[in-house]
Structure 1
Amino acid sequence: MPTRTKAIVLSKIKYRDNDLIISCYTQQRGLTSYLIRGAYKSKRSGTIAYYQLLSQLDIVENYKPNQSLHYIKEVKSAFVYSSLHTNVLKSSIVLFLSEVLTNVLKEEEQNTLLYDYLETALQWLDSETNYANFHLLFLLKLTKHLGFYPQESYQDTDVFNMESGFFENKGQHIYAISAANNKLLKQLLGMNFDALHIIKLQAHQRQSFLQMLMQYFELHLGYFRKPKSLQIFNQVFN
């Protein structure tokens, strides 16, 4: 039976000559994959534009529980980005984050809080001009929905332990983070996107913290692999 849901495009791959397979995070059922027949046919040239990475869609789907690929009966934009796919730097963020999200989002079940977070955060990025540190806070907040958000209570002298997810006052340990990353983590915890402008970082500081976050994801998600786009992404924001 056709059902309506919102969906965010995580990945896409061309299939055969004219078809497209997309993976979406949907509001109604979490991770879902769709086969878009004839997406590349000239007479349907407008169709492919809907399925850019991290696009927010309103779809009517034909969903059958026993199938791995489902079908979209109707599609329209749920939110039209003004800069996310046209600004070169923002497009780099989109490519990187879509790869991360494809890697970490595995649940085929409804998670409205996570969907709302992705939707709101991406709309914020689209509208902002000061976004150099967006991906750092985005990934940190994402860990709350994945189940390993860092402990928020700590003493000034405590150092974050990536393995336990807690701040500890035990001196150095194998998963202790650097002093600079420790300070930045404490600044970002509990911060809203609207306050990001107060964080001033140089490129090497941003890259060091991102590297730490990637290691943190690896420790807590056994299937996580560092994105292939990470090196290019760091060069763009150098």
Structure 2
Amino acid sequence: MQVTTKGIVLSSIKYGDTSLISRIYTDSDGLKSYLLKGILTAKKGKLKAAYFQPLMQLEINANHKNKGTLESIRDVKVEYHYQSLHTEMTKNSVVLFLAEMLGNSIHEEESNKELFQFLQASLQWLDNHDKIANFHLFFLLSLTKYLGFYPDTENFSASCFDLVDGVFVDYPSGSAFITDENLVLFKQLLGTNFDTIHSIIMKKTNRQELLKSIVLYYEMHLQGFRKPKSLAVLNEVFS
């Protein structure tokens, strides 16, 4: 079936000497994997390797067999042209980390337009703003709304956040929880939006500890989730 859809690149890996396999989250069909034959050596043609960098926003014309095999792309164009995401070192580090997190979190081959629109708008916001030190924390917390394990805020005034059960409690049931100064910042993140995340002031140690807790939260609530290799690099960038 021939499909024209918007898509966000999650990853691209080399296949043989001349080709790529690219995993793209599409608006029409969720996660799809495409074999891009000969793209690394092609001097002409509509498909260029530069289009398949992490988190690129594309419009693709593809053939979808929907049989669980690699699909093919007939034509592609950039749907949104980033100005800074792949050229500024800090933003590029965020992009690599978030692409890995998304690749480890999203597996459904079905359309989820709300999730797609969230990713689309969030990445465009990141591209157009400079005060981004807290962006990845807020992005990952917001993403849990679409993945089905957003923190339950019913007991918001409690003194701990239990990572296992995803609830605020006064007495956590296990050893994985957020408390004290980090809890205050965690609650502030839950109560903000992209345009005000810069107003949350936190030390580098708090930012690193919160990120570690949020990644652990993903590990606990997503089957098969793997801790991203780029986590250490991101912590170094924001230190």
TM-score range, shorter chain: over 0.9
Task: Specify the code of the residue in structure 2 equivalent to 1:8.
Answer: I
Shift of 1:152: 2.1
2:190 corresponding residue in structure 1 = 189
Length, aligned pairs only: 238
Q: Using a 3 Å threshold, how does the CA distance of structure 1 residues 14 and 44 change in structure 2: closer, same or farther?
A: farther
2:97 corresponding residue in structure 1 = 96
Structure 2 Cα separation of the partners of residues 82 and 184 of structure 1: 30
1:211 corresponding residue in structure 2 = 212
2:164 corresponding residue in structure 1 = 163
Shift of 1:206: 0.5
1:43 corresponding residue in structure 2 = 43
User: TM-score normalised to the size of structure 2?
Assistant: 0.95
SS of the aligned residue for 1:107 comes to coil
Give unmatched runs, 5+ long, in structure 1.
Answer: none
SS of the aligned residue for 1:109 comes to coil
SS of the aligned residue for 2:181 comes to helix
Structure 1 segments, 4+ long, off by >6 Å, are: none
Task: Specify the code of the residue in structure 1 equivalent to 2:3.
Answer: T
User: TM-score normalised to the size of structure 1?
Assistant: 0.95
Structure 2 Cα separation of the partners of residues 144 and 87 of structure 1: 29
Structure 2 Cα separation of the partners of residues 236 and 122 of structure 1: 19
Give runs of aligned pairs for residues 1-238 of structure 1, distance below 5 A: 1-44=1-44, 47-170=48-171, 173-238=174-239
Shift of 1:153: 2.9
RMSD of aligned alpha carbons: 1.6
Give unmatched runs, 5+ long, in structure 2.
Answer: none
Shift of 1:173: 4.8
Report percent identity of matched pairs. 46
Task: Specify the code of the residue in structure 1 equivalent to 2:180.
Answer: A
Structure 1 Cα separation of the partners of residues 172 and 225 of structure 2: 28
Structure 2 Cα separation of the partners of residues 180 and 173 of structure 1: 19
Shift of 1:126: 0.3
SS of the aligned residue for 1:218 comes to helix
Structure 2 Cα separation of the partners of residues 26 and 188 of structure 1: 28
